[in-house]
Structure formats: structure tokens, C-alpha cells
Amino acid sequence: MQISRRDNTPDNAMLINFTNLRRARTARPLVIERGRGIFLIDENGREYIEGTASFYSAALGFSNDDLTEAAIRQMRSLPAYASGIYRTVPAALALGERLAALAPMKGARVAFASTGSEANDFLIKFMRFRNAHLGQPKRTKVIARTGSYHGGTMATAALGGFPGTAAAFNLPMDDALTVSQPDYINLALAGESEDEFTARMLLEIEQTIEQAGPETVGAMILDPVSYSAGCVLPPRGYLTGLRELLTHYGVQMFDDEVITGFCRTGNMFAADTFGFTPDCMTLAKALSAAYQPISAIVMSGAFYDVLERASDAIGTMPHAGTYSGHPVAAAVALRMLEIIEERDLVGHVRAVAPRLHTHIHAMAGHELVFNTRALGLGGAVQFHPIKDQRGARGQAMQQAMMDHGLLLRVVGDTINFAPPLIITTAEIDEMMRRFTAALETLPRETA
Ligand SMILES: Cc1ncc(COP(=O)(O)O)c(C=O)c1O
């Protein structure tokens, strides 16, 4: 039977993500056709460096044959099967074991999902399940930090994120508590030392818990380095102090490592870099180098044990996802974990990161630059805003960089760097050459 086509215009519906929908109707997007290493080629044959690894995800660049072959092998042996009801696939089992062994928490247990948003959303749901079983059904509130993005679902879009998102979507906000982004560079008071700033940030969180009523607060979710807030590095003592504070109030610490997981900060996880142990961790993006959609929720044994008891009490865990632990995605992620070891990606990041830091910090003296920061294979150059036009310089730089064959994420007037982890020092030099050339085309007036 012939399937009839309706009279819809074909390219209207596709571009929604962080896009002005009216503009998307008329402006043709950049259409990327191919990739090789850290380079991309668009439909017109123009070449770009992807300096933020495509939303911080394509950790091995765009042409890793090992991952492709792992996917093909799995596609040939078992391309689809839903894990659940006491059935699963070897790749999901092996991946769960491997992740649990890597995690910093004691007795870690792993559940799968398909995206970072879903992992965070599921985790919040698990928290509510757990607390209800513990006889604390009021512990439903989640604290997040302004500017920290945790996803696009109903629950996660209400947390922190871009100011105005929750209101724009008219999201239920009763259980979302918002505290400041610990951005010492931009939010310190005049003369405030870094230690004083950390203490003030922790006090704000304590007061938020006290005001809400500690018996109503279930968790705090945080991205240890907040790229969505402009590559905000945690001030000294913040994460370890936060760990103590949350433990004191019985509030779970949810470590969103969707961006920072898998070598980005120079260790396997940012929790290792900053020396704290979360209660739960969410992983996505680099977990499969973004070759397949897969995410993971890693829970401490203590957190998981309550889920186990709660499911026992009602007979089952009333939760599932058809693609949670999808065989092809799991096989690719498993191969990714092997590659991290085989290629010593942590060692590679540590070896090439100083080159990136040197380049980034060399920008500090530029008249348009307000601040530079770097950690592991990431960092940012923050410009002085143009007077009364916050973000305009960032947008101008966005265009200039594209004209010079460079794709980076722009947050206001801050330009984030987080290249694929496989980048070489020569490629870092080339990326920064393009960045500098783009910068030189920007008008100079700082006022
Ligand atoms: C820190 C963080 N958490 C969660 C998410 C959501 O992940 P996804 O887009 O895979 O749903 C993102 C996405 O950029 C993120 O940066």
C-alpha cells in the first residue's frame, strides 16, 4: 500500500534545540556531513575544528573505527533487546560491572538510561521512591545551582539551568530549590577572598535547607565544573565542604558528571579530581563518546539497598525503559571504557592539557578579555561585555570563529573549550590559532 504524504514542509520541524524557531524557518543551519578526528566537514565542503566536542560529548572525535566496529559486531549478533523482567544482554551486564568498579562510591550499583536528562530524572524519581520507603515522603525537594543545566525533562528543566526556563515552560517548581552558582570570578564581593566566598556559598545552601525544612530536602544536584554556567570551576574547599554539609542534613549528593565524567578534568571523574565521594553519580556523553545514546545512574550501595528493600515491599521496581541498557549502546560504551585504558586517555589528557592551559591563559592580557580559566582538557575565555549588550561580544565571536573554521560553545560572553580527548598538541595549537585569528577580527572598543 502506498503511504500518502501529507502536505507538510519537510524542513520545518527539525530544529528546536536552543534555537529561535522563527529564525530556524528561514536560516539554513550549519549542516555537518562528515567527520575525521577532531575535524568536521559541512555540506559545502568547509572544514571546522569541533573545540567543544559537540556539546561536550564526542570524546574520541568523529572517526573512531573501534567504536564503529563494536557497534557493527553487536548489530550483527543482537541488534535489539530490552533489558527487564529478569532478562538482559551480556554487554549491559558487563558495562554495569565495569562502571560499578570504577565508581568512587562503596558497593556501587548501576542502572541505565538513554540520555543525561533521563539519568538525572530517573535518579530524582528513585530518590522519592527511596525516601517514601524510609518513611520520609516529604523529602522530595532538590537543590540545584543557577546556570547548572541538568536536562530537558519536566523534573530536570526546573533545576538550576538557564534562568527563566522553568517559568517559560510553566513547570512545577514546588520541589526545586535554587542556590547561587559558586562563581568566584564573577560573583565575589569586593575584597572577598576565595575561602570567604566558599564559606558564603555553603552558608547560603545551609540556610536554604533550613528555610525549606531539612525534612523536606532530598538531594542536591551539581555539575562539579559547570560548563553551562561558563566553565565555572568550584572555589577552593567548596565540594568537600558541601559533602560534609549535605551529610549533616541527610541530604543526598547527586554528582552530575554528564560532562565531567571520563577524563575531562584529568581524572576518570571530577569526584576524583576534587576529592569528594557523592552518593550517586550520573554519566552520559563521553560514556559512549556519543556514538550511541546511553547514560548511567551509579548509586552507592547504601542508596541502592533501600531501593532493593522498597521494591521488595511492593513486589517489583515499578520502573523501566525500553532502551535502558540497549545492546548496541552498551557494547559501544564497553568498548569506550576499554579504549580509555588501552590508550591511557587520562595520561593523554594530563600530557596535552598544559598546552591548552598555556594558550588559554596567554589570552589573559588581551584588552577584550576579562578572565581565563582552565582545568584538565577544558577551559574558558571570558570577554568583557559590551556596555548594555551582555552576550553580544560572545555572539560576535561565535560568528567570527565559524568564519575561521572553529566551533566552540558560547555562554554569554564566555567561550568554552572542551575538545575531543584525543586532540594532539599540534591540533591544540591550530585550534588556538583559529581562535586568535577570530578574536583579532572583533571590534576593539571595550566600553
Ligand atoms: C551537566 C549536564 N547534565 C545533563 C545534561 C543532559 O544530558 P542530555 O542532553 O544527554 O539529556 C547535560 C547536557 O548537556 C549536561 O551538560
Ligand 1 center to residue 1 CA distance, Å?
Answer: 41
* 390 within 8 A of 382, measured Cβ to Cβ: no
Closest C-alpha among 416, 346, 419, 338 to residue 59: 419
The rounded Å distance from CA 7 to ligand 1 centre is 35
Nearest CA to ligand 1 atom 4: 150
Whole-number pLDDT of residue 447: 47
Probe ligand 1: pick from 259, 283, 409, max atoms within 8 Å of CB?
Answer: 259
- Are 329 and 342 a contacting pair, CB within 8 Å? no
- Which amino acid residue places its CA nearest to atom 7 of ligand 1? 116
Query: Residue by residue, what is the 3-state secondary structure of the chain?
Result: CCCCCCCCCCCCCCCCCCCCHHHHHHCCCCCEEEEECCEEEECCCCEEEECCHHHHCCCCCCCCHHHHHHHHHHHHHCCCCCCECCECCHHHHHHHHHHHHHCCCCCCEEEEECCHHHHHHHHHHHHHHHHHHCCCCCCCEEEEEECCCCCCCHHHHCCCECCCHHHHCCCCCCCEEEECCCCHHHHCCCCCCHHHHHHHHHHHHHHHHHHHCHHHEEEEEECCCECCCCCECCCCCHHHHHHHHHHHHCCEEEEECCCCCCCCCCCCCHHHHHCCCCCEEEECHHHHCCCCCCEEEEECHHHHHHHHHHHHHHCCCCCCCCCCCCHHHHHHHHHHHHHHHHCCHHHHHHHHHHHHHHHHHHHHHCCCEEEEEECCCCEEEEECCECCECCHHHHHHHHHHHHCCEECEEECCEEEECCCCCCCHHHHHHHHHHHHHHHHCCCCCCC
**Cβ-contact 50, 289 below 8 angstroms:** no
Instruction: Output the CA angle 113-116-121, nearest 5 degrees.
Output: 75
pTM of the model: 0.96
- Residues of the chain where predicted confidence (pLDDT) is lower than 50: 447
Q: What would the pLDDT profile of 239-297 be if each residue is shown by its tens digit?
A: 999 999 999 999 999 999 999 999 999 999 999 999 999 999 999 999 999 999 999 99
Distance (Å, rounded) from C-alpha 208 to C-alpha 211?
A: 5
Q: Which three cell numbers stand for residue 17?
A: 534545540
- Which atom of ligand 1 approaches the CA of 285 most closely? 10
pLDDT at 11: 56
Going from the Cα of 48 to the center of ligand 1, the distance in angstroms, rounded, reads 23
Please give the pLDDT value at position 389.
Answer: 95
Residue 166 has what pLDDT? 87
Q: How many CB atoms lie within 10 A of CB 253?
A: 22
Residue nearest to atom 9 of ligand 1 (CA): 116
What pLDDT does residue 13 have? 52
Residues with CB under 6 Å of ligand 1 are: 55, 115-117, 120, 149-151, 223, 228, 256, 258-259, 284
The reported pLDDT for the residue numbered 377 is: 98
What's the CA-to-centroid distance between 113 and ligand 1, angstroms? 13
Question: Ligand 1 centre and the CA of 240: distance in Å?
Answer: 23
Q: Which pLDDT tens digit goes with each residue over 205-243?
A: 999 999 999 999 999 999 999 999 999 999 999 999 999
Cα(59) to centroid of ligand 1, in Å?
A: 15
